[in-house]
A = this chain, B = another copy of it.
Amino acid sequence: MDYLKDERKKAQFDVDVMKVVWAGSRESFLVSDRMAKLVANDPAFEKFSKPMLSRKELFKNTLRKAAYAWKLINDLRLSEEEAKWLRHYIDEPNYTDLQWEMFVPAIQGQCTEEQKKKWLPLAQSMQIIGSYAQTELGHGSNVQGLETTATFDAQMDEFVIHSPTLTSSKWWPGGAGKVATHAIVYARLIINAQFHGVHGFMVQLRSLEDHSPLPGITVGDIGLKFGHGAYNTMDNGVLRFDHVRIPRDHMLMRVSQVTKEGKFVQSDVPRQLIYGTMVSVRQTIVADASKALSRAVCIATRYSAVRRQFGSRNGGPETQVIDYKTQQSRLFPLLASAYAFRFVSEWLKSLNKDVKQRLEDKDFSTLPEAHACTAGLKSLTTAATADGIEECRKLCGGHGYLVSSGLPELFAYYVPACTYEGENVVMMLQVARFLMKTVSELGYKKPVGTTAYMGRAKTLILSNCVIQTSEEWLNSGAIVEAFEARAARMAVGCGKRLAKYENPDEGFAELSIDLVEASLAHCQLIVVSKFIEKLELEIPGKGVKQLLEVLSYVYALSLLHKHQGDFLATGYLTPKQASLANDQLRTLYSKVRPNAIALVDSFNHTDHYLSSILGRYDGDVYPKLYEAAFKDPFNDSDIADGIYEYVQPILKQKLQSAKL
């Protein structure tokens, strides 16, 4: 029985085509759909009962799933892409994420050919399992401040890896706590008491025979993290080295080398290649943001159509909560954001592919812009997604607080994305540096790519919006221009104030709050424009393009309303125009409404992946909530542990003699 059937009938577009648009291509759709179903239909990957497990049981269960998945990947001879989707749908962070997303790429990117020949086959067949040990107890964002040392001992032709202080303990590396046999350890290279920067070193942590930590290595798990399952399936590690010796050739030497004689040499491989890797990791985070947000939005949208409250007339059914404007005004901008982030992440992927190609050709010209873009979008999308997941939870009312709604775990799982791989405010400050540089060079250097609009800064600052009716806001050109004007005015405004400071660093610190706001305005412009550019392409399928247009307007105009202050303060919009935009936004919500369920169906999430009773495809929420409660092991017995010892003595007024 499909309780959402009527909702699905309301759709004014072709859902199957939209699924392909969401996936990026028919091929992508097919492979991800196949892997999603493979995981969903295999009882080995059951995950609903996960939150009831103790940490040890949870972890053991994860190890089992990871092994089972690896066997599947080999048995079915899955391609790299298929394997990636498989891991994605298993939906459980574990050491293999590190292996494939950090360890292997680091070997590929930072090792010499000779080193690659040695390490890659071992890593790719998982004869060694690697972690990536950068962050320390005392240092995260400031990589140059890491304290672990790698001191060269020329006599022995070895490096001595050492943790000189408590705060130098490696802290957070995933997989290191219990599993990894090796780690790429970032440490300060010291040769003859001279510091030569922070570099990566391959260090074996555990015996390949019996898995016990090697001499000189102290290692453990850093303890519980947010949520029940979430990242607690991962053994984030604490790691200390007591003068651990490794051969010289265990330094990752593609970019920098230490010779047998202890000479520090830079190879002719440009350092920028390493930045390229960072950029590509962050690009993945942007793609993941749209996935995580789409899950939350799917759950909240479906449950908002199931749930009814108030508004019954003559004993008829109550109003579906999705019909309330207040619900729509919170939910639909998030639905639109999921699509917006999806498209901007696709664009970012192509940008990075281009940058990578250029780097190989030693063309570094586009790297700064790509770097700023990726940092900014990482910050924007992860912050909006984290907030959006929690908003979706609240939109489900009380039941959203149950773990079985899927939302608390999704939130707990997602939020570290705001911190890891570049803390979000630090990221926006990097965008700001790039923006301020662009502004300061406007006189003689033509800005390109996502900053091209800055070339028209003068016009953007002088001209004002000419919109006079709410309908005129249905104009992508006018919208982009408004976002460009706002971003340009804020950036140029910051530039002018910055110029007044004698010491630019001091000025930058003093104005950092405004700079972050200007960077956000710039990044929102990118997302808005890329959404609109996507719609300039041909998109087949009945109603598909029309609905995406509606969503692009919802995204842009809801941002415009939220940041009304910027648009008014910079003077590009009048209060009347902002108010007209808001009127239009309300009309747009009515256009989204009949398509809401179909728009979340288009994400093609399986019930297994969503892991949410409220978000079930069939809308059969209440009976399943009820069933789930009685399946909880806590309900195994009517009389809970502790009732006889600690409640009965109270009721029977015999507390004095009770053993407490």
Q: List the interface of chain A (C-beta within 8 A of B).
A: 44, 51-52, 54-57, 59-64, 66-68, 70-71, 74, 125-129, 135, 137-142, 145, 166-167, 169, 171-172, 178-179, 181, 208, 210-213, 219-228, 231, 235, 238, 308-310, 312, 318, 324-326, 329-330, 386, 390, 393-394, 397-398, 400-404, 408, 412, 415-416, 418-420, 423-425, 429, 509-514, 516, 561, 563-571, 575, 578-579, 582, 586, 622-623, 625-626, 628-630, 632-635, 638-651, 653, 655-656, 658, 660
User: Which of chain B's residues have a CB closer than 8 A to the CB of A420?
Assistant: 398
Knowing A226-B403, A326-B429, A650-B126, the reply to whether A629 touches B220 (Cβ < 8 A) is: yes
CB <8 Å contact, B401 and A235: no
The distance in angstroms between the C-alpha atoms of A420 and B394, with both chains bound, is 11
Cα A397 to Cα B138 with chains together (Å):
11
Q: Cβ of A140: which chain B residues have Cβ within 8 Å of it?
A: 309, 397-398
- A142 touching B310, Cβ below 8 Å: yes
CA distance A51 to B658 in the complex (A): 26
Residues of B within 8 A of A586 (CB): 510, 513
A633 — which chain B residues lie within 8 A by C-beta? Answer: 55-56
Which chain B positions have C-beta within 8 A of A578? 565, 569
Q: Kindly list chain B residues whose C-beta atoms are within 8 Å of the C-beta of A66.
A: 646
Question: In the assembled complex, which residues on chain B have CB atoms less than 8 Å from the CB atom of A424?
Answer: 394
18 contacts between A and B (CB under 8 A): A59-B634, A71-B656, A71-B658, A125-B653, A128-B651, A137-B625, A141-B309, A178-B639, A211-B648, A212-B638, A212-B639, A223-B629, A223-B632, A325-B511, A393-B415, A397-B423, A510-B586, A563-B565
List chain B residues, Cβ under 8 A from A309.
139-142, 145
| A328 nearest CB neighbor, chain B only | B513
Given contacts A67-B650, A638-B213, A655-B67, contact A222 B629 (CB under 8 A): yes
Give the complex CA separation of A63 and B643 in angstroms.
Answer: 7
* Closest CB in chain B relative to A330 CB, distance in Å: 8
Q: How far is the CA of A70 from the CA of B650 in the complex (A)?
A: 8
Whether A645 touches B228, Cβ cut-off 8 Å, given contacts A54-B54, A651-B129, is no
Quick check: B178 and A402 within 8 Å, CB to CB? Answer: no
**Within the assembled complex, what's the spacing in Å between the Cα atoms of A44 and B660?**
9
Asked if B660 and A68 make an inter-chain contact with CB atoms under 8 angstroms apart, the answer reads: yes
Which residues on B sit within 8 Å (CB–CB) of A561?
565
Q: A312 and B145: CB pair below 8 A?
A: yes
Q: Are A640 and B220 in contact (CB under 8 A)?
A: no
CB distance from A314 to the nearest CB of B (A): 14
Query: Given the interface contacts A63-B646, A129-B647, does A220 sit within 8 Å of B419 by beta carbon?
Result: no
Q: In whole Å, how far is A90's beta carbon from the nearest beta carbon of chain B?
A: 13
Max chain B C-beta neighbours (<10 A), residue from A127, A394, A424: A394
Q: What distance in Å separates the Cβ of A228 from its nearest Cβ neighbour in chain B? A: 7
| Contact between chains at A401 and B416 (CB < 8 Å) | yes
Contacts of A211 in B (CB 8 A): 638-639, 643-644, 647-648
Complex contact B223–A404 (CB within 8 A) = yes
In the assembled complex, the Cα of A240 lies from the Cα of B404 at a distance in Å of 20
Complex CA gap A401/B412 in Å reads: 9
For the complex, what is the distance from the CA of A403 to the CA of B224, rounded to whole Å?
6
With most chain B CB atoms within 10 A of its CB, the pick from A56, A231, A658 is: A56
Taking a contact as CB atoms under 8 Å apart, the answer to whether B512 and A324 are in contact is yes
Q: Choose one: B138, B228, B571; the contact of A228 (CB below 8 Å).
A: B228
**Beta-carbon contact of A225 and B416 below 8 Å:** no
Contact A326 B640 (CB under 8 A): no
A564-B565, A641-B60, A655-B74 as given contacts; A166 in contact with B626, CB under 8 Å: yes
Q: How far is the CB of A323 from chain B (nearest CB, A)?
A: 9
Inside 8 A of A404's CB, which chain B residues have their CB?
223-224
| Chain B residues with CB under 8 A of A125 | 653
- Which of the residues B220, B324, B330, B644 comes within 8 Å of A630, measured between beta carbons? B220
Seed contacts A235-B640, A325-B509; 18 additional CB < 8 Å A-B pairs: A44-B660, A55-B633, A59-B634, A63-B640, A166-B626, A178-B640, A179-B640, A211-B647, A219-B638, A222-B402, A225-B402, A324-B509, A326-B513, A386-B390, A401-B416, A569-B575, A569-B579, A571-B575
The answer to whether residues A660 and B401 also contact, given A512-B324, A641-B56 and a CB cut-off of 8 A, is: no
Contact between chains at A56 and B423 (CB < 8 Å)? no
A566 to B567, CA, bound (A): 12
